[in-house]
Amino acid sequence: MYHSRVRRADFAYPLPEDLIAQTPLAERSASRLLVLDGRTGDMSDRMFRDLPQLLRAGDLLVFNDTRVVAARLVGFKPSGGRVEVFLERPLKGSHALVQMRASKPVREGLEVATAGGPVCVVARHGDLWEVALPVPALEFFERWGEVPLPPYIHRAPVATDRERYQSIFARHAGAVAAPTASLHFDAPLVEALEAQGVKHAFVTLHVGAGTFQPMRTEDVASHVMHSEYVYVSAATCEAIARARAAGGRVIAVGTTVTRALETAATSGALAPFEGDTKLFITPGFQFRVTDALVTNFHLPESTLLMLVCAFAGREHVLAAYRHAVQQRYRFFSYGDAMFVTPGYSR
């Protein structure tokens, strides 16, 4: 395996707690942008609204158009014990796969009372539980759930999170975490990019709650990625082919887009794809589609940080993270961003 000698500790970095963004900025495109050249390690400090200066006519931005579901719900056992129910994936009918957190173990047959009606535990599937709901899962959670802010945001969701923890391109409901690189794009920035001749296309990857799960194994090769639904359309494949033919670059907006595109190209050539992916990208991975990457800053020792290191080189990326800490960039979902070019040549 290409990641057989990679260790989790190789992707650690110190991060002061006060650099973890707890709220979004007033304007989406007002965040900072750290530009990293993956071949040289050169860096520059920019603003996200400077992105048009880094792109050129014919480049293609690819966004994840998933929509975040109000996936977190609190209920109570018959004993009165509190249970947090977190949607992972809707199933057929009124069933769903969920994470359940309670002070005492959850068991099959348990009925959890919620504001929207009973949630009945049917069976265990690994770390997840299959439950039966009063109505289909998306309808149920959208009506009764709350915005599933990440665990490192230490506050309760507020009304504005419903809009700000969602990209302006969100249209296909199914994610339980936002594709955060796209949160920096607002209408004026998109218009400026379009006027410059930068085109865009879409993939869908429904981000799962596993994106926040810490890696439990020190040996990276032993880690099993969580499964996420991906859809890459023929239209997007054609847009990428046209961009490449015209000399444009394919710029993935986020690690989710990178995983979706590279999943669709695992046979060697990009092709339409619909299904689940467990693709784990670590140093040594051969990128077939992604020419540049827009991404937020990621948690230490996370699979997302490993993907960025695979793209631009671990030493360069970790040096960029050290620079970001020194310059007091804002980290994680509501934080600042990077524009990264690859550490390899095609």
End-to-end CA distance of the chain: 22
From the first residue on, what is the mean pLDDT of each consecutive set of 10 residues in the chain (346 residues)?
Answer: 72 97 98 98 98 98 97 96 95 96 94 98 94 97 95 93 97 95 98 98 91 79 88 98 98 98 96 96 96 97 96 98 98 98 84
Residue 98 phi, psi (nearest 5): -140, 160
pLDDT of residue 210: 72
pLDDT of residue 215: 80
What distances in angstroms separate CA 199 from CA 107, 118, 202, 256, 310, one per listed residue?
50, 47, 11, 19, 26
At residue 168, the 3 state secondary structure works out as coil
How many angstroms separate the CA atoms of 226 and 145, rounded? 23
How many angstroms separate the CA atoms of 114 and 229, rounded? 28
* Structure tokens that stand for 213 in this block: 């799960």
* Spatial contact of 183 and 28, defined as CB atoms under 8 Å apart: yes
pLDDT of residue 208: 87
Residues 6+ apart with CB under 8 A from 89: 96, 97, 174, 206, 208, 229
* Spatial contact of 132 and 60, defined as CB atoms under 8 Å apart: no
pLDDT of residue 345: 73
Residue 226 is classified by DSSP as P
pLDDT of residue 162: 92
What distances in angstroms separate CA 303 from CA 10, 67, 206, 210, 264, one per listed residue?
12, 22, 16, 10, 19
Burial of 92 (0-12, 13-18, 19+ CB in 10 A): exposed
Provide the whole-model pTM: 0.94
Residues 184-212: tens digit of each pLDDT: 999 999 999 999 999 999 999 999 877 76
pLDDT of residue 346: 63
Residues 88-134: tens digit of each pLDDT: 999 999 999 999 999 999 999 999 999 999 999 999 998 899 999 99
* Spatial contact of 87 and 133, defined as CB atoms under 8 Å apart: no
* Spatial contact of 171 and 63, defined as CB atoms under 8 Å apart: no
Q: Where are the beta strands (DSSP E) in the chain?
A: 32-37, 43-47, 60-64, 66-68, 72-76, 82-90, 95-102, 111-114, 117-125, 128-132, 172-175, 199-205, 228-232, 250-253, 273-277, 292-296, 337-341
Closest C-alpha among 278, 269, 290, 264 to residue 343: 290
Burial of 88 (0-12, 13-18, 19+ CB in 10 A): buried
Counting Cα atoms < 13 Å in the Cβ hemisphere of 210 gives: 22
pLDDT of residue 225: 87
